[in-house]
Structure 1
Amino acid sequence: MSVGMASPRAPYASDSGRSRGRLFDEPPSRTRSAFRRDCDRVIHSTAFRRLKHKTQVFVYHEGDHYRTRLTHTLEVAQIARALARQLGLDEDLTEALALAHDLGHPPFGHAGERALDGCLDAFGGFDHNAQTLRVVTLLEHRYPDFDGLNLTWETLEGVVKHNGPLTDRTGNPVGRYQRRGIPVGIADFNRTYDLELWSFASLEAQVASLADDIAYDAHDIDDGLRAGLFAVDDLKAMPLTAAMVSDIARGHPLLDDDRRGAALVRELISCLITAVVSEAERRLADARPQSAAEVRSHGRALIAFPPEMAEAEALIKTFLKQRMYRHPRVKRVMDEAETIVRDLFARYRDDPAALPPQWMPEGDDSRALDAETARKIGNFIAGMTDRFAITEHRRLFDSTPDLR
């Protein structure tokens, strides 16, 4: 298949006309498919707007041109739709999952997630996928008849399972969930609305997951170059990007570093998309699924990098971890950001009156912290933008880190 040409709808694509529906029945839209409606509901949600001021790697005030959680999400959606189009999948469901995938991220990126996870350790920890599910099923208050966005089963499934099954057929947690078990928010909701945690998600969800990886690799290289954490020539340390640097030099020997970096990022995105399409076509040809249901029960992911590209992509992640995420400048800011989150949690725990009225625990405020109160505090903090968290810390404490 030629990249850039759309495929006809494949038999294994999700079909909005055969959706398993919504938890709360609603009349269908006269103008939009069920999945397009999900996509639009995510875009108009409060949580989606907050992504504008949530950290990707650099805190919002460090520069106007670094990615935020919102711009990351838009790039994931663009890549996901490109993949879905090539593979004949439902683009609206794919886009809805890409746009929703980070709604549960707290302020300050992974630093905020680590801090909240520690604060909630006695109550099951913090998982951003579980928090995304809470956002779209409970915490958004936009409709008169239900909490959340009342998204379709397929979108909720993809939010929870885009990285693969959470349990085996008997309900035992698998993978990273073996140590702590299924996150509370997912386990509780699944008892109400079975998302079949043992199965793989749709191909649209698998595509959104790979698009997330591609976007991360490309835009973190771009932001790292912009921040001066490493140079284009440092990327010669990895065979894949070394070949791209050489190709750019041969075609444009006098190109400045800014344009060299931009050219490399474009080539990397194109290369990774092409590799995913090629491997997906091979796996789909072998498996020959004739429906989305057969995709779920197949037993392994059908959207993936080919082995050699998976190795190359893992090297990029290792490079970024060493040269960017653990860079002293980035680490210092993120350590201070973790302090802000921990301080806020401790203050709300010890003084519930510091919370807004709608977030205050019910009953005796002097009681020992229970799971419901802890989770309510966690929900409040997770919904904060970087900017609001800093402002709130300044309101409650005499000294607040500058995060610069």
Structure 2
Amino acid sequence: MTVTLGYGAQPRAAYAVDPNQTRERLFPEASSPTRTPFQRDRDRIIHSTAFRRLKHKTQVFVYHEGDHFRTRLTHTIEVSQIARSLARALRLDEDLAESLALSHDLGHTPFGHEGEDVMHECMADYGGFDHNAQSLRIVTDLERRYAQFDGLNLSWETLEGLVKHNGPLVDRDGRAIGKLATTGLPFAVTEYAKKQDLMLWSWPSAEAQVAAIADDIAYDAHDLDDGLRAGLLSFDAMDQVPLLHDILTEVDTLHPGLEDARRIHEMVRRCITRMVEDVISESIRRLENLAPSRVDEIRFASDAVIAFSGVMAKQEKELKTFLFSHLYRHPDVLEVRKRVAQVTRDLFAAYMDMPENMPGPWCDGVENSDMTTRARRVCDFIAGMTDRYAIDEHRRLFDDTPDLR
């Protein structure tokens, strides 16, 4: 298999998902005369309420830290760009890869990973919380826009890729695997599996795998960028990370004495390029070895077909370890995380105690429901909040709201 990089459109590979042979949506709809099923999925995602809310949901920093830091929305757009580039190089369906990239973070809570951790803690007795599963719940239930169905009624291939963002969830006998082996399948996945079989035991399409690895590339590089610009990371500390050391040496050799802002950008763009080119080369190698002639051969493979090489996988892991210890565990970040954790816990307790504190449809019928149903309604409400709305709600309900600056 030969992949030629360039501007012109190339014929779709035999192992790519064919939009003309997509599986049924849960609710059958007439086809569009102007858009493929995956283009329709993309458009529905972009026009959803959950997508707009990503503008005020943060990655590492809370919303008012600065206008130049990433939000979930800007991160999502960057993931989409990388996913389309990879899909084009590998002759996959770009629209499906883009749809999955645009939807992958819809289920995230306010306040980044701290919000998710606290929500899982609050929901421990009620089925837990998982942001990938919450994304599925949003696009299959919580978006209430269409006259004929709840959710967005996305194509089977988009739902499959969304729920299997991190690979297979169960073995062929239906037993949860990996990190889910001890916790079991998330609530939203279990509920939706009763309606439609998403083949939870198989790998997803190559397009879904592209979106997943594009997510890794984007947040590695851009958390690095944000951390440097926020002053929480230093160039000196990066000597301990081989990938970054090599890139900075290259930048400084080509552009000695470069000002910091340009030096950061030159390093970050090279980091993305190296990872993207490595994924293309390694994926071509894996695809040539597997020689799939149809998409199901990708799903039934024993391993992922879209991946970093062994060398880059090691370097990427070292970069993640560096970011975890120097950025995500930086004292300033930890202090803010502690405060937003309290905001989230307080809101959950307040709504559980008095669900009428939630607006309109969210509290309808929940007062007399069992505690598990109430908790799931509260969870859905809080998970959909932006950072700003969560803080405003805390101020409305409590006399002492933590200062997040």
TM-score (norm 2): 0.97
Q: For 1:158-169, what aligned pairs fall within 5 Å after superposition?
A: 158-169=161-172
Q: Report SS of the residue matched to 1:175.
A: coil
Identity %: 56
1:8 alignment partner, one of 8, 11, 16: 11
d(CA) in 1 for partners of 2:116, 2:236: 33
Q: CA deviation at 1:240?
A: 1.2
Cross-structure match for 1:338:
341
The Cα shift of 1:388 comes to 0.2
Contact 2:132 2:165 in 1 (8 A): no
- Counterpart secondary structure, 1:192: coil
Separation in 1 of the partners of 2:334 and 2:125?
26
Using the alignment, how far apart are the partners of 2:5 and 2:397 within structure 1? 54
Post-superposition shift, 1:24? 0.3
Structure 1 regions of 5+ residues with no counterpart? none
Aligned mates of 1:50, 1:276 — CA distance in 2: 31
Aligned to 1:280: 283
Are residue 387 (structure 1) and residue 392 (structure 2) matched? no
Matched with 1:252 is: 255
What is residue 398 of structure 2 aligned with on the other side? 397
Q: Which amino acid in the other structure matches residue 116 of structure 2?
A: E
Aligned runs of 1:227-246 on 2, under 5 Å? 227-246=230-249
Q: What does residue 39 of structure 1 align with?
A: 42
Within 1, Cα distance between the matches of 2:73 and 2:366?
37
Q: Which residue does 2:130 correspond to in 1? A: 127
Determine whether 1:152 maps to 2:151: no
Shift of 1:234: 2.2
**1:379–1:363 Cα change, 3 Å:** closer
**Secondary structure of 2:99's aligned partner:** helix
Q: Give the whole-Å Cα distance in 2 for the aligned partners of 1:231 and 1:263.
A: 15
Partner of residue 375, structure 1: 376
Which AA in structure 1 matches 2:359? P
Displacement of 1:163 in angstroms is 1.1
Once the two structures are superposed, residues 5-45 of structure 1 have per-residue CA deviations (whole angstroms, 9 ceiling, x without a partner) of 56431000001100002000111111000000000100000
Partner of 2:92: 89
Q: CA deviation at 1:361?
A: 5.2
Instruction: Look up the equivalent residue of 2:343 and give its one-letter code.
Output: I
Quick one: structure 1 residues 363 and 227, their matched pair in 2 at CA, closer, same or farther if it must change by over 3 Å? closer
Q: Is the 8 A contact 2:366 2:374 kept in 1?
A: no
Report the AA paired with residue 373 of structure 1.
Answer: R
Q: How many angstroms does 1:233 deviate by? A: 3.1
Structure 1 residue 364: Cα displacement: 5.0
Tell me whether 1:347 sits opposite 2:350 in the alignment.
yes
1:166-181 aligned at under 5 Å gives the runs 166-181=169-184
In the TM superposition, what is the alpha-carbon distance from 1:173 to its structure 2 partner?
0.4
Shift of 1:298: 1.0
Q: Tell me the CA shift for residue 4 of structure 1.
A: 4.4
Asked whether the 8 Å contact 1:233–1:245 carries over to 2, the reply is: no
Contact 2:109 2:385 in 1 (8 A): yes
Seen in structure 2, the aligned counterparts of structure 1 residues 364 and 249 have a Cα distance that, compared at 3 Å, is: closer
Indicate the residue corresponding to 2:326 in structure 1: 323
Give the Cα separation in 2 of the matches to 1:232 and 1:149. Answer: 45
Whether the aligned pair in 2 keeps the contact of 1:361 and 1:373 (CA below 8 Å) is no
Give the Å deviation of 1:162: 2.1
Shift of 1:363: 6.1
Kindly indicate whether the alpha-carbon contact (under 8 Å) linking 1:353 and 1:360 is maintained by their aligned counterparts in 2: yes
| Aligned length, in residue pairs | 402
Partner of 1:99: 102
Letter aligned with residue 292 of structure 1: V
Give yes or no for the alignment of 1:220 onto 2:230.
no
Contact 1:235 1:242 in 2 (8 A): yes
Question: CA separation in 2, counterparts of 1:237 and 1:332?
Answer: 26
How large is the Cα RMSD of the aligned pairs?
Answer: 1.1
CA contact (8 A) 1:232 1:260 kept: no
Map 1:138-149 to 2 at 5 A. 138-149=141-152
Q: Which amino acid aligns with 2:65?
A: E
Q: What TM-score do you get using the length of structure 1 for normalisation?
A: 0.98
Moved runs in structure 1, 4+ residues, more than 4 A? 1-7
2:360 to 350, 357, 382: 357
Tell me the alpha carbon deviations over residues 222-273 of structure 1, each in whole angstroms, 9 at most, x when there is no partner. Answer: 0000000122232121111101111111111121111111000000000000
